Amino acid sequence: MPQDPLDKTAYIDKHTKILNDLTVNNQTVILNERIVGSISKFVMFDDNEITYWIDKQYWGKGIATATLKIFLTIENSRPIFWKSNF
């Protein structure tokens, strides 16, 4: 995390590194042509982990569950652990 959360250059640099990391699988969740969240697989301390974010207005609609089911068909790393950021 950059010292200044408003530092656009630091933000872009950080996320460019993430997007170029071949061990990271980062996907956007789209519903009715709207971005409603994201899901990612990354490696932390030698463990494959999944993290996700769903916009609060879409909670309770089964979107996270459906997203995980689809994501696991394209992400073949195992074992894999699930973490939630909210």
The model carries a pTM of 0.80
Query: Does residue 15 lie within any of the structural domains?
Result: no
Query: Does residue 42 lie within any of the structural domains?
Result: yes
What pLDDT is recorded for position 42?
Answer: 93
User: How far apart (Å, rounded) are the C-alpha atoms in residues 42 and 60?
Assistant: 25
What pLDDT is recorded for position 11?
Answer: 87
What pLDDT is recorded for position 43?
Answer: 93
What pLDDT is recorded for position 3?
Answer: 74
Full residue range of the structural domain in which residue 69 is found: 24-84
CATH number at residue 77: 3.40.630.30
What pLDDT is recorded for position 15?
Answer: 87
Domains contained in the chain, number = 1
Low-confidence ranges of the chain (pLDDT < 70): 1-2, 83-86
